[in-house]
Structure 1
Amino acid sequence: MARLDPLPEIAEQAAYYGDGFLHNNIFWPMEHTKQMVAFYRQRFEHYGHGRADQAIVGLGGQVFVRKDSQKAWDEFRPYFDNAPVYGHGPSMEDFTRETPLTVGSPQQVIDRYAAFREDVGDYQRQLFLVDHAGLPLKTVLEQIDILAEDIVPVLRAEADKHRPTDVPSDPPSHADLVAKARAAGEATDLHVVGEDRWTGRRAEDDADETADAVTR
């Protein structure tokens, strides 16, 4: 297997428990994203939670959108060039080519993000970062409106149209996983409401122990 980045443990942990895996790929090229998602899917299947293509996956993303593509580039460039994180580094052209950052029209965002399924398979969640690069609140709120009105409904419809019927559209809830574990005889000791289904502990217990350790 090719080398993974320093956080394959997160994908491994999510796969072990049968949880969904959100790859926060906003600074990574698609080659890396494909590698991490493929690793998670492989381990999800290894632990018996279903086929690899049935694993619950989410991706990160960044956009700056205006109705006119050139206006989007002209407006966003000063913010990008001086952004606290990526300012004074790679050019906006390089960054939009090599990472999920997409600057342009709603259709350009739709085309690019709808195509991600070709690289990582059908996935269930798409996170958009819009409050970035020092954008003023008014602009951020405008971005949210464009996403809600022109982009997200189309992406959701495209995902539903292409997703196979035996690939879930929603991740299981904690209650779903507990019920599944109980049905399989893996959680016979879960008699306390709120108790963790794997360790038999509750978050409150850990908090109490931590407090005791601090006061000792």
Structure 2
Amino acid sequence: FVWHGSIRSPEIAEQAAYYGDGFFHNNIFWPADHTQRMVELYRTRYAHYGHGTPEQAIVGLGGQVFMRRNSQDAVKEFRPYFDNAPVYGHGPSLEDFTEQTPLTVGSPEQVIEKTLKFREYAGDYQRQLFLVDHAGLPLKTVLEQIDMLGEEVVPVLRKEFAAGRPAEVPEAPTHASLLAAERNKEVVA
């Protein structure tokens, strides 16, 4: 399965739709309305090319997180990295950036809550990627973020996304599902 990834290029959304491939919108530096426009373009064009309904288009989103058990500790610890990062530093405040973009700095519960809200502007989608090693974070801190995601965030997100997914929204293809589909074709033929 092929994913076409983009932050800002509508041509990539068009290309993914043309081929009936997945569209992965990075969704990390842009406000929700930009992400919404890109995903809607892809979904509309996916249907236009006859691959299915807009809801059946395969969408993935990015997001960036920094977590600690309580949000005050997360903000306090992450702020110096944010303020001095080549990408973020000396621009909008941490508070403004987290309000305007998918960046979530807080508790695991806050990450879950904000990530589930991505569906409000992107619709139901199949893949979520988290950026956890940004802004010059030390390896030890990055590994702690991965542990928190795996233990506390991802299991809840999987459950919530599955419970809220309409029947017409497909699962994202996996290597195993594509192999099984190929085997089924061979058996039928």
- Hey, what does 2:26 align to over in structure 1? 24
- The residue type paired with residue 129 of structure 1 is L
Checking the alignment, whether the CA contact within 8 Å between 2:71 and 2:106 is kept in structure 1 is yes
**RMSD, aligned CA:** 2.0
Match for residue 158 of structure 2?
A: 156
Q: Percent identity?
A: 69
Deviation at 1:13, TM superposition (A): 0.5
TM-score by length of 2: 0.88
User: Which of 36, 39, 45 is residue 37 of structure 1 equivalent to?
Assistant: 39
Larger-Rg structure: 1
Report the AA paired with residue 153 of structure 2: I
Q: Which has the higher contact order (CA 8 A, sep 6+)?
A: 2
So what's the TM-score if we normalise by structure 1?
0.77
1:118 aligned residue: 120
In 1, the alpha carbon distance for the partners of 2:63 and 2:8 equals: 20
The structure whose residues are more often helix, as a share, is: 2
Identify which of 54, 66, 69 aligns with 1:67. Answer: 69
- 2:65 aligned partner, one-letter code: V
Q: State the alpha-carbon separation in 2 of the partners of residues 153 and 172 from structure 1.
A: 18
1:51 is displaced (CA, Å) by 0.4
Determine helix, strand or coil for the equivalent of 2:66: strand
Structure 2: which 5+ residue stretches go unaligned?
1-6
Unaligned runs of 5+ in 1: 183-216
After superposition, residues 1-216 of structure 1 pair within 5 angstroms as 7-171=9-173
Code of the aligned partner of 1:169:
E
Structure 1 residue ranges, 4+ long, deviating more than 2 angstroms after superposition: 171-176
8 A Cα contact 2:55 2:168, kept in partner? no
Secondary structure (helix, strand or coil) at the match of 1:115 reads helix
Residue aligning to 1:214:
none
More strand by share: 2
